[in-house]
Amino acid sequence: MLHVPLPDGRLCPQNSNRLTSGATVKQRLADWFPFQLDDFQIQAMQAIEDGRSVIVCAPTGSGKTAVAEYAVRRAIETGKRCFYTTPLKALSNQKFHDFRAEFGEAAVGLLTGDVSVNRAASVVVMTTEVYRNMLYGTSLGEVERNLYGVQAVVLDECHYMNDPERGTVWEESIIYSPAEVQLIALSATVANADDLRAWFEFTHGSTELVVSHHRPVPLRHYYFKGQRSGLLFEKNGQLQERWKRAAIPTARKGFRRRPKSESEDAARPEDVVVDLDREDMLPAIYFLFSRKGCELAMDRCRGRLHDPREVREEREDEIDAFLQDHPALANHGHLGALYEGLAVHHAGLLPAWKAVVERLFQKGLIKVVFATETLAAGINMPARATVISCISKYTGDGHRLLTASEFLQMSGRAGRRGMDKVGYVMVVHHPKEMVTAVAKLARAEADPLDSNFRPGYGMVLNLLQRHSIESCRQLVEKSFGKFLVEQRGGGQGFRHAQQRLEDLSKPLCPGELGDLSAYRKSLERDESLRKQIHGLAKAPKHGSVKYEILRMKAERDRVYDKIQESPCNGCPKMAPCAEQGHRRRDLEQFLKRAGTGSRETPYWGQFLALTKVLERLDYLDDYKPTYKGEAAAALRATNTILLCEVIFAGVLDTLEVTEIVAVLTCLVNEEMRALENLRLKSKRYIAEALNECRAIATDLERLQRQQNVDAPCGVVIAYAPLAYHWANGCTWLELIELSGLEGGDLIRALRRTLDVARQLSFVPGIPATLAEKARQIEPLILRDEVRDSLSAMDS
């Protein structure tokens, strides 16, 4: 690193400015921020001036962005550059427009993979994946050229490191960033911020940790049951007495068979919304955990809210202007609700529709948005209140309670700085959830950050293009996961988890301990037998049927006796006990990964296993990428190796352009539950090509199993007829009717195909005829609603 002399004789890294005097810093703050800054913001800004990297951990809405803006302004003033990274394209677009309004169009650029605007600007906003890919080099240019003049990189929403699917991108970005570039990491509150700072210092250099727990707009927690809400806690922080009484089961005489429906006291969304309106808590974001649930809730609330005439007129004008630009949405099923100030927001909606919902909400013209939890980590849409419909959600492994960080993320949307004195968080009563569990979540600290570092084919090929195998090992072993394991119990997160496990090992039951797992299995078996008996009762009463009914009734009586005898039966601690068990198992797994047994982590072994697969397939030769490896390294797609194997096997060579669209869409997208019932047939040549793709995928899967590699290599054939019809000019309404999918899901699938087609047109090593056909794909996909939707996402 080059250094320049300072007036006092000290040497300063060339990338950072001269150490600025306190007076100059204060003058900058006065010039740049016409409002009173908080202490944590000033501390972080001073660290930036001192040339250090900074981690800022603070609640949502506390003003972390001001720290990033300081880094941006400082770069512009000193003739340097600053990159601002975000986890979502929507967030990148929003920041791009905000910065252009603030600093001028010439000073700001945007890179989101498929959009490139003024990439040489002083300030470039991009997704974190784009920044990581820049550090790889390859198709985005040499690393040195990509980062020329870059003084600082802002990593917004750095707590995304906890994301199981994408967390590795943040770790890679931090590991690969040149040491002379300042990193400004903005994160929600996490339990092990000290561990994160220590890892930054180990990986990247001197780092200041700035932590604030202060919320400028304090939160008040409410609980809704019946038809009214009330404060969840007393002034002393204890659970309100009325909710304590509600938490105790009314019947303690033991097990009783409930009617089939257990939702008799479940709260209705329309009652919740009316209560919010009556208590002056609107606008609100109402979180539910399914798309269907969002839409049903919105429909049930129609006609419940009444705005002043001037608000209605302004809203109508905004919507009418939007429809003039997007006439195809004039028949949208949600339009009537939107005119009433109600909306839905989830991934299945068209991007253009989500854009107008976001704009109207930000202008205060929508009273309630019914949203899935993706909005909690999405763009800037603060509200006066957030409503959490329940504290459990369904995942691929069944239902589980929300984590503390998930609850905090949703709660954090409440309270608009400069507009509200208080933000309201309302949790809705659910008959299967204990209010004590709600109180525990509302008081819980954030979860610790864990490592989700995961080597993949792209990482292996890109690193080996620029580094020796030994250098690759050194980089891989800089992961956050490896760092935590190396601490072997010395880390803050490890100690915190140990203490939590010790606390959770204390029994909740005041009397005899029961086996909750066995008790729950008995309840499930009882319910299963009830349903079977009910079904058989409708069948003709043959001798065998009668015998089976009698046998099941006898078994059910035995199960009933087990339930009655269990100490868990009728115990008021059953729900908290179940929650305790889930938390205990999670912590045991965390401690097993992070601090027990060997200090070795699986990452380097996974890296080497991937190299073996790549060598067998001729992508590597003596740890150097071949021409196939260089092509695969340059591609950014799902199923990269499968896609390349299909290409180099010549499967696409004889297909027409529209047929290539169909096959590519099957290769670069993932399975969706909504596709399971789709029974459309593909054209003969497409079907034959897909059969070849599946055979290649089977061979790849077999090879991966031999090397203990777990990487996706599926072919989703259900997409083929849909993509083919669109490429052949069918209308959007025809495609929706043909597929039965939601518009947003179709847009996402076609966008991935378009993105890969664009890459195939310039990636080195791709056959020239295929590259030429790939260039013809864009106008076939990018038309009508797809063009409008992608324009809305990038506007």
Q: Mean pLDDT, to the nearest integer, of 692-717?
A: 94
Dig out the tokens for 86 from the structure: 């975000």
Q: What pLDDT is stored for residue 513 in this prediction? A: 56
Can you tell me the distance from the alpha carbon of 501 to that of 293, in angstroms, rounded to the nearest whole number? 35
Q: Which residue has the higher pLDDT, 373 or 583?
A: 373
Q: Which residue in 526, 549, 547 sits closest to 537, CA to CA?
A: 549
Q: Which residue in 640, 669, 626 sits closest to 760, CA to CA?
A: 640
Is residue 700 helix, strand or coil? helix
Instruction: Write the pLDDT tens digit of every residue in 495-505.
Output: 666 777 777 77
Question: CA triplet 312, 313, 319: central angle to 5 degrees?
Answer: 90
Q: Mean pLDDT, to the nearest integer, of 192-204?
A: 91
Can you tell me the distance from the alpha carbon of 633 to that of 617, in angstroms, rounded to the nearest whole number? 14
Q: Which residue has the higher pLDDT, 753 or 3?
A: 753
Q: Is the pLDDT of residue 595 over 80?
A: no
pLDDT grade, residue 83 (50/70/90)?
Answer: very high
Task: Report the interhelical angle of 719-727 vs 684-706 (nearest 10°).
Answer: 130
pLDDT grade, residue 589 (50/70/90)?
Answer: low
pLDDT grade, residue 17 (50/70/90)?
Answer: very low
Can you tell me the distance from the alpha carbon of 634 to that of 644, in angstroms, rounded to the nearest whole number? 11
Contact predicate 669/661, CB 8 Å: no
Number of Cβ within 10 Å of residue 504's Cβ equals: 18
Q: Which residue has the higher pLDDT, 39 or 375?
A: 39
Contact predicate 486/210, CB 8 Å: no
Instruction: Write the pLDDT tens digit of every residue in 379-411.
Output: 678 899 999 999 988 776 677 889 898 999 899
Dig out the tokens for 460 from the structure: 């292996």
Average pLDDT, the chain: 85
Can you tell me the distance from the alpha carbon of 272 to that of 227, in angstroms, rounded to the nearest whole number? 7
Q: Which residue in 89, 212, 81, 33 sits closest to 751, CA to CA?
A: 89
Instruction: Write the pLDDT tens digit of every residue in 122-156.
Output: 999 999 999 998 898 644 456 778 888 999 999 99
Can you give 255-296 as a three-state secondary structure string? CCCCCCCCCCCCCCHHHHHHHHHHCCCCCEEEECCCHHHHHH
Residue-by-residue DSSP string for 329-362 = GTT-TTHHHHHTTEEEE-TTS-HHHHHHHHHHHH
Can you tell me the distance from the alpha carbon of 123 to that of 90, in angstroms, rounded to the nearest whole number? 17
Helices (H), 434-542: 435-443, 457-466, 469-476, 480-487, 492-504, 516-537
Can you tell me the distance from the alpha carbon of 517 to that of 523, in angstroms, rounded to the nearest whole number? 10
pLDDT grade, residue 253 (50/70/90)?
Answer: very low
Contacts of 349 (CB under 8 A, 6+ apart): 357, 742, 743, 744
Q: What pLDDT is stored for residue 489 in this prediction? A: 54
Number of Cβ within 10 Å of residue 142's Cβ equals: 12
Can you tell me the distance from the alpha carbon of 419 to that of 440, in angstroms, rounded to the nearest whole number? 29
Q: What pLDDT is stored for residue 21 in this prediction? A: 46
Q: Mean pLDDT, to the nearest integer, of 189-216?
A: 90
pLDDT grade, residue 182 (50/70/90)?
Answer: very high
% residues pLDDT > 90 (the chain): 51
Q: Is the pLDDT of residue 250 over 70?
A: no
Q: Which helix (H) or strand (E) holds 376?
A: none
Q: Is the pLDDT of residue 374 over 80?
A: no
Contacts of 63 (CB under 8 A, 6+ apart): 37, 38, 41, 216, 417
Contact predicate 186/65, CB 8 Å: yes
| CA–CA distances in Å: residue 429 to residues 252, 270, 293, 392 | 21, 14, 16, 12
Contact predicate 191/221, CB 8 Å: no
Contact predicate 271/301, CB 8 Å: no
Q: Is the dihedral of CA 236, 238, 243, 248 positive or negative?
A: negative
Q: What pLDDT is stored for residue 4 in this prediction? A: 31
Q: What pLDDT is stored for residue 795 in this prediction? A: 59
Dig out the tokens for 292 from the structure: 């269907």
Q: Is the pLDDT of residue 635 over 80?
A: yes
Q: Mean pLDDT, to the nearest integer, of 566-584?
A: 69
Can you tell me the distance from the alpha carbon of 301 to that of 179, in angstroms, rounded to the nearest whole number? 54
Instruction: Write the pLDDT tens digit of every residue in 646-676.
Output: 999 999 999 999 999 999 999 999 887 777 6
Q: What pLDDT is stored for residue 100 in this prediction? A: 93
Beta strands 219-225 and 398-401 are: unpaired
Helices (H), 105-212: 128-136, 143-146, 167-176, 193-203
Q: Mean pLDDT, to the nearest integer, of 217-240?
A: 90
Q: Is the pLDDT of residue 43 over 70?
A: yes
Residue with tokens 């799902």: 638
Q: Is the pLDDT of residue 18 over 70?
A: no
Give the start-end residues of each E strand in 566-628. 620-621, 624-625
Q: Is the pLDDT of residue 485 over 90?
A: no
Dig out the tokens for 746 from the structure: 């179709």
Q: What pLDDT is stored for residue 575 in this prediction? A: 61
Q: Is the pLDDT of residue 259 over 70?
A: no
Contact predicate 256/358, CB 8 Å: no
